[in-house]
């Protein structure tokens, strides 16, 4: 059963905290509803702390939903190795700085985004980056795709098992791949 407490116990949010995404179908619906979504993927997509990777899910989801991916830290090469070209690569603090700026015109100069999906950045760091959006980016909704509850996002999964989370990712990718 998912809980709605921060994974790292002391990382409590303030008066407002993320809504829990109860099932992957809801995530899919939110992605479809967004006009200009963007994916921000950190290095844990190739180095899950428990071992393994989920970069292939990110690629499938991004391709199926036609969402630009920003690779943070040093992992852009991992995407390219798999035949996928991210829209950009830049440090997590840089893409966050841009996304929280209402006047930024986006990677393609077509305007600011309305949904940012963050995943794979160390929990405590992603928590802070999402906090910047919560306070300063009213133009933007955020989702954490990680398997731990991120209270500073607009929406987040709860704390779910690795197995359940893998199932979620498969469901999301599969449903988006159905045209």
d(CA 179, CA 120): 27
Half-sphere exposure of 95 (CA within 13 A, CB side): 25
Residue 82 lies near other proteins (rule: CB under 8 A): no
Least distance to other proteins, CB of residue 175, Å: 30
Residue 124 lies near other proteins (rule: CB under 8 A): yes
Residue 98 lies near other proteins (rule: CB under 8 A): yes
Query: Judging by beta carbons within 10 Å of its beta carbon (0-12, 13-18, 19+), is residue 174 exposed, middle or buried?
Result: middle
Give, in order, the Cα–Cα distances in Å from 90 to each of 75, 96, 168, 172, 176.
10, 10, 27, 26, 26
d(CA 1, CA 32): 26
Residue range at the interface with other proteins (CB under 8 A); choices 3-11, 27-35, 60-68, 139-147: 3-11
d(CA 152, CA 172): 22
Least distance to other proteins, CB of residue 100, Å: 7
Instruction: Give whichever of 73 and 175 is closer to other proteins, judged by the CB atom.
Output: 73
Residue range at the interface with other proteins (CB under 8 A); choices 8-16, 23-31, 32-40, 55-63: 8-16
Sheet bearing 155-156, strands edge to edge: 19-20, 155-156, 141-144, 115-119, 37-41, 69-71, 88-89
Residue 112 lies near other proteins (rule: CB under 8 A): no
Least distance to other proteins, CB of residue 109, Å: 10
Query: Which of 1, 15, 163, 178 is the binder for other proteins (CB under 8 A)?
Result: 15
Helix (H, G, I), strand (E, B) or coil at 178: coil
Instruction: Give whichever of 32 and 81 is closer to other proteins, judged by the CB atom.
Output: 81
β-bridge mates for residue 89, sequence order = 71
Query: Which of 2, 87, 122, 171 is the binder for other proteins (CB under 8 A)?
Result: 122
Distance of CA 34 to the CA centre of its chain: 14
Contact positions vs other proteins (CB under 8 A): 7-10, 13-16, 42-43, 49-50, 72-74, 76-78, 80-81, 88-89, 91-94, 96-98, 100, 104, 121-125, 128-129, 131-132, 134-136, 138
């Amino acid at each position: 059963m998912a809980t709605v407490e921060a994974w790292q116990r002391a990382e409590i949010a303030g008066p407002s905290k993320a809504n829990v995404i109860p099932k992957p179908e809801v995530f899919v619906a939110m992605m479809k509803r967004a006009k200009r979504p963007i994916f921000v993927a950190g290095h844990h997509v190739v180095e899950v702390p428990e071992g393994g990777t989920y970069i292939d899910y990110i690629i499938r989801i991004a391709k199926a939903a036609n969402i630009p991916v920003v690779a943070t830290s040093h992992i852009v090469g991992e995407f390219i190795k798999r035949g996928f070209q991210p829209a950009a690569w830049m440090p997590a603090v840089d893409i966050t700085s841009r996304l929280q700026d209402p006047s930024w015109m986006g990677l393609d100069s077509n305007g600011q985004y309305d949904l940012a999906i963050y995943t794979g950045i160390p929990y405590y760091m992603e928590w802070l980056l999402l906090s910047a959006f919560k306070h300063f980016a009213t133009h933007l909704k955020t989702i954490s795709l990680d398997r731990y509850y991120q209270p500073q996002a607009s929406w987040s999964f709860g704390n779910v098992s690795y197995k359940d989370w893998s199932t979620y990712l498969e469901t999301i990718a599969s449903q988006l791949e159905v045209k």
